[in-house]
Chain A
Amino acid sequence: MKRNTFYLLAGIVALAEVGIFWLSVDLERPILIQVAFVLGVLLLYAARRRVEDRIEDERTAMITQKAALRTLEVFWVVFFAVSLGGAVAAFSRPLGLRPPHPPLDPNATHMLVIRITDPDVLPFDLFGRFAVGQLVLLCLMIFLYVGFRMYYARKYGEWDTDEEQD
């Protein structure tokens, strides 16, 4: 497989993942996108091994390592700060993650839990906020990594051209 074919395949997989994500939301089946994501990553790993053109060597490995290390150095601070904020928000309530229980009615024979909200609307509760927060952090991490990757790639001559290429 040529290198450009691999990049084309990666683009197609990314588009398919977006489509499956919306399908997963539409069908309310989270497992769809989860399985599709893992399969997509496995497919790309398998395809990458079949690329005939050399795309990795000691220099690219060093660029990847440096970018990953810098991302980790920055990200663990961000992640820790956000997590600390979340922990403070959680523990500042009386029972931690849950609001206090309503007082029990001694005359009641049955306890009924009634949702006052619209049953068709999923409440954007703590778990939802946590998931979205994680996605935001993950996106931040990816942006950081790409930024560092570009910086080190430029530093160690990734996109240089010379007379032979012109």
Chain B
Amino acid sequence: MKNRIKVYRAMHDLTQEGLANELGVTRQTILAIEKGKYDPSLDLAFKIARFFGVAIEEIFLYGDTAERK
């Protein structure tokens, strides 16, 4: 699953460590999600979207949506 976490992190001037602390996960988890190695649970995905104040589909791109964007 593709995502734009890195872009949103850059917009908010946040490091992976900072975002991980905000969300209560490890830095490696943020890194793994950014690299597409780990698909977060729906709960964590919503937490990320809520943290950045956007809709979940703005950050996570799945299947055909990812191709179109």
A residues in contact (CB < 8 Å) with B:
54-60, 155-160, 162, 164
- Is B62 in contact with chain A by the CB < 8 A criterion? no
- Is B41 in contact with chain A by the CB < 8 A criterion? yes
| A58 touching B40, Cβ below 8 Å | yes
B residues in contact (CB < 8 Å) with A:
15-17, 20-21, 24-26, 28-29, 31-32, 35, 37-38, 40-41, 43-44
| B17 touching A160, Cβ below 8 Å | no
Report A-chain residues with C-beta under 8 Å of the C-beta of B24. Answer: 54, 57
Tally of contacts, chain A with chain B, CB under 8 A: 50
Q: How far is the CB of B22 from chain A (nearest CB, A)?
A: 12
List 23 A-B residue pairs with CB atoms under 8 Å apart, sorted by A's residue number: A54-B24, A54-B26, A57-B24, A57-B25, A57-B29, A58-B25, A58-B29, A58-B41, A58-B44, A59-B25, A59-B29, A59-B32, A59-B38, A60-B26, A155-B37, A157-B31, A157-B35, A157-B37, A159-B28, A160-B32, A164-B15, A164-B16, A164-B17
Label chain A's interface by main secondary structure: loop
Q: How far is the CB of B34 from chain A (nearest CB, A)?
A: 8
- Complex Cα gap A162–B28 (Å): 10
